[in-house]
Homo-oligomer: A and B are copies of this chain.
Amino acid sequence: GLKVYASIKDVPEHVDFAMILINARSVAKVVEECAEKGVRAIVVVSDGFAERDREGARLQDELVNVARARGVRIIGPNTAGVVNTSNGFNPCPYEAGYYKLREGPVAICAQTGMINPQAFPYPVLGFGVSKICDFGNKCDLNECDMLEYLGNDPHTHVISMYLESIHDGQSFLKISKRVTPQKPFLVVKSGATKEGAMATFSHTGAMAIDDKVFQAVCNQAGILRLDNFEELFKMPKIFASQSLPSGNQVGIMSFTGGIAALAIDEAARHRLRLAEFTLETAGMLEDIFPGLGRMPVDMGPMMAALKDAFDQYPRILEIVLGDPNIHALFSVLWASPKREILGRYIEAYELVKERFDKPVATWIYGPDPQLIAELRSQIEEMGFPVFEEPETCIKAIGLAVKYARIREKR
């Protein structure tokens, strides 16, 4: 039931924004018409430009020339576009199965449409997003423009970005330095290997910079570099809802020693220290159950020995988080088929939410995926992030500690 026009010039009203999905050869001409109509912002979804071949590169140059001459700004070409949750703007060019995106503090940007709503199930992300942007070939607006914009965007508190190339290294360094003392800036970059760099070139026609140079830029600018694509979505979570830790001592609470041992390995890799209880805390825990007053806290033996062990859970969590030596907590929960136990967790988390301002990263395990999902969503609604792997919890805490230090230094 929507009216279709043969050309933008036929539209009677003023037009703010255009999205172009036609054949690459006709794009420059349509941009020209858009400019005449008064459109200043254009997303070019069409592909077949610099990422394709020489002829495509020529078409891209032509497109840029028209845009520059007419004062039009372009995102793309070869992009899935942008999303702005603050005003509900979500012009997806593909079949996405419409859903309303949850508003939140995290901006996700990438040199790929893999981050847009047609490709990623945002409702299960566990946090809300402020902006989404696929840069595409970055013929005009690039990651520097976006970073500058997001640095000033009051709706964005965390920036997570996937990059294949850097348009202008000096600007990128300068703007990053300005942004990172205000907001965590997380980056995944392809082209870390020679083979990947060549593939990057053929994907968007942009040359990837040497990975060592890029790493040096990250170190200098306080950018938190991530290791893989999934982390682009996982790692912002620790910053989306948790306060920054005041030190690098991490506490571990678990129902099993095996996971604690792996977590301690991972903690050491991220330069975290396993917290040690004060004598007072240790005493209080030992009073509840012998052996409980040492780190990592293994509630397994207590659970096996006491019939009402889970009734103690809220108090134990409160005592552990109350210890001044603990700057952040890795909390392992067992999603027991006994539902009353799950209620105890919720009770405990509500209690500590009111009283403490320390980051808690939670991992849930158990025999029933449905039960895990349910408990997870309850805990995330309370504002505590839940991660899918134990190692991810620890790495997230490691990043939070790293960022707290970056912020202190500036």
Q: From the candidates B191, B264, B265, name the one contacting A261 in the complex (CB within 8 A).
A: B191
Whether, in the assembled complex, A174 has its beta carbon less than 8 Å from a beta carbon of chain B, the answer is: no
B residues within 8 A CB of A202? 257, 294
B residues within 8 A CB of A298? 203
> Interface code A96-137, partner B: CB below 8 Å = 1, 0 otherwise?
110100000000001111100111111110000000000000
Whether, in the assembled complex, A406 has its beta carbon less than 8 Å from a beta carbon of chain B, the answer is: no
Q: Chain B interface: which of A10-18, A33-41, A320-328, A365-373?
A: A365-373
Shortest distance between the CB of A146 and any CB in chain B (Å): 16
Q: Are B120 and A391 in contact (CB under 8 A)?
A: no
Q: Are B369 and A190 in contact (CB under 8 A)?
A: no
Whether, in the assembled complex, A301 has its beta carbon less than 8 Å from a beta carbon of chain B, the answer is: yes
Number of copies: 2
Q: Are B121 and A257 in contact (CB under 8 A)?
A: no
Q: Are B119 and A389 in contact (CB under 8 A)?
A: no
Q: Are A265 and B119 in contact (CB under 8 A)?
A: no
B residues within 8 A CB of A338? 95
Task: Name the interface residues of A239-266: CB closer than 8 Å to any CB of B.
Answer: 256-262, 264-266
> Interface code A41-71, partner B: CB below 8 Å = 1, 0 otherwise?
0000111100111000000000000000000
Assuming A194-B268, A261-B191, A268-B193, is B365 touching A120 (CB within 8 A)? Answer: yes
CA distance A203 to B274 in the complex (A): 15
CA distance A286 to B96 in the complex (A): 29
CA distance A267 to B190 in the complex (A): 12
B residues within 8 A CB of A51? 257
Assuming A258-B112, A260-B199, A261-B164, is B228 touching A99 (CB within 8 A)? Answer: no
Whether, in the assembled complex, A162 has its beta carbon less than 8 Å from a beta carbon of chain B, the answer is: yes
Whether, in the assembled complex, A269 has its beta carbon less than 8 Å from a beta carbon of chain B, the answer is: yes
CA distance A365 to B229 in the complex (A): 12
B residues within 8 A CB of A95? 336-338
Of the four ranges (under 10, 10 to 19, 20 to 34, 35 or more), the interface on chain A belongs to: 35 or more
Whether, in the assembled complex, A230 has its beta carbon less than 8 Å from a beta carbon of chain B, the answer is: yes
Shortest distance between the CB of A16 and any CB in chain B (Å): 25
B residues within 8 A CB of A114? 256, 258-259, 365
B residues within 8 A CB of A99? 367
Shortest distance between the CB of A10 and any CB in chain B (Å): 25
Whether, in the assembled complex, A196 has its beta carbon less than 8 Å from a beta carbon of chain B, the answer is: yes
Whether, in the assembled complex, A222 has its beta carbon less than 8 Å from a beta carbon of chain B, the answer is: no
Closest to A369 in B: B121
CA distance A229 to B388 in the complex (A): 11
Shortest distance between the CB of A260 and any CB in chain B (Å): 6
Q: Are A121 and B372 in contact (CB under 8 A)?
A: yes
Closest to A200 in B: B261
Task: Name the interface residues of A357-383: CB closer than 8 Å to any CB of B.
Answer: 365-369, 371-372
Q: Are B262 and A367 in contact (CB under 8 A)?
A: no
CA distance A389 to B392 in the complex (A): 14
Shortest distance between the CB of A303 and any CB in chain B (Å): 9
Whether, in the assembled complex, A300 has its beta carbon less than 8 Å from a beta carbon of chain B, the answer is: yes
Closest to A117 in B: B367
CA distance A280 to B164 in the complex (A): 31
The 4 A-B residue pairs with the shortest CB-CB distance in the complex, in nearest-first order: A112-B258, A196-B265, A203-B257, A97-B337
